[in-house]
Amino acid sequence: MQKRKLGNSNFEVSAIGLGCMGMSFSYGPPKDKKEMTDLLHAAVDRGITFFDTAEVYGPFLNEELLGEALAPYRGKVVIATKFGFDLSGSDNRPGAAGLNSRPEHIKQAVEGSLKRLKVDAIDLLHQHRVDPNVPIEDVAAAVKELMQQGKVKYFGLSEAGVKTIRRAHAVQPLTALQSEYSLWWRKPEQEVIPTLQELGIGFVPYSPLGKGFLTGKIDENAKFDSSDFRSTLPRFTPEALTANQALIDLLGGIAKRKNATPAQIALSWLLAQKSWIVPIPGTTKLNRLEENIGAVSIQLTPEDLRDIDAAASKVKVEGARYPERLEKMTGL
């Protein structure tokens, strides 16, 4: 497995990480604990060293799963987690919890994450969503204090806009930004990626396979259970899925040429954008894990990348990526 450094830091991780949310949250009921433990061990055996979780996934279940499953590999793997939601209520649907990044709440959240992850220090701590009620300088100062206490090693943001990134970075340098980025969500290219390049901050794209769509396994007949949060997303209505099929046709054509799968082309395209981009595709299946890892060895030529860009520019992706209430939580 190739390694990459996130930004200007010495924070080195496998070129592809593993997003672990779906093991416990959002894509239907929590999966079987033993099966997910086996999958996490299989990921380590195959060279993945970077695992992504958050306290809200479950809530708490996902951190507990990773803490237990990855305990034998302490020191060989890194775990990124996130704070920023108020989990005191009873409604645990994705995004239902209110935001809370008050400094005292961050410290409380970190203590909980340390216990569940069974670690002395959190490798990479992200603010999950920007809290408009708390100045980002106060958030960065709270994390800086936790770093000085040895409880956090590196600081990141998730779904933040460039003004917030700059303001946070001035107080405590950021190692990574985690945001959605893929062939069907390219907005970060406009302002975010140039800003990260300028400041030396790494980029960790979540949903690099478009929440499963870019695998080519989802068509307009797909049915999503009410416990699957894609059932609430405008981009996953039958009409949008039909319109967006053109993107899958494009990936499929290039995949045939490369003896690869559409998912592998989508991931290798991301890896080819910048040397400091580390996508974190999520999966609960071993064959998908192996397929995603296979993307690292696919070389896209400059001509391949031009072809993908030219074809993708003709495909208008239909449907907002989130309902309006959740979209308001992004890009502040």
Q: Name the catalytic one among 57, 181, 206, 322.
A: 57
| Amino acid present at 29 | P
Give the whole-number percent of the chain exceeding pLDDT 70.
Answer: 97
Identify whether the C-beta of residue 305 lies closer than 8 Å to the C-beta of residue 272: yes
Cα–Cα nearest to 14, from 197, 280, 214, 300 = 280
Q: What does R_g of the chain's alpha carbons equal in angstroms?
A: 19
- In angstroms, the CA 215 to CA 74 distance is 32
pTM of the model: 0.94
Give the three-state DSSP class for 32.
coil
Mean pLDDT along residues 110-126: 98
Confidence of residue 148 (pLDDT cuts 50, 70, 90): very high
Give the three-state DSSP class for 25.
coil
Active-site annotation holds for 57: yes
- In angstroms, the CA 90 to CA 81 distance is 21
Give the three-state DSSP class for 125.
strand
- Structural domains of the chain in order of their starting residue, each with its CATH number: 3-215+268-299 (3.20.20.100)
* Encoded tokens for 310: 């030219």
Mean pLDDT along residues 15-41: 94
* Encoded tokens for 278: 């580390």
For 31-40, 51-60, 218-227, which range has the lowest pLDDT when averaged over its residues?
218-227
Identify whether the C-beta of residue 168 lies closer than 8 Å to the C-beta of residue 139: yes
Confidence of residue 219 (pLDDT cuts 50, 70, 90): confident
Cα–Cα nearest to 22, from 40, 6, 4, 41 = 40
The owner of tokens 């340390």 is 114
Give the three-state DSSP class for 93.
coil
Task: Quote the pLDDT of residue 235.
Answer: 86
Mean pLDDT over the full length of the chain: 92
Q: How far is CA 21 from the centre of its chain?
A: 9
Cα–Cα nearest to 119, from 158, 37, 63, 175 = 63
Cα–Cα nearest to 85, from 68, 63, 102, 67 = 102
How is the beta sheet containing 50-52 ordered, strand by strand? 18-19, 50-52, 78-83, 122-127, 152-158, 176-180, 202-206
Task: Quote the pLDDT of residue 220.
Answer: 80
Task: Quote the pLDDT of residue 99.
Answer: 94
Confidence of residue 96 (pLDDT cuts 50, 70, 90): low
- pLDDT tens string 154-210: 999 999 999 999 999 999 999 999 999 999 899 999 999 999 999 999 999 999 998
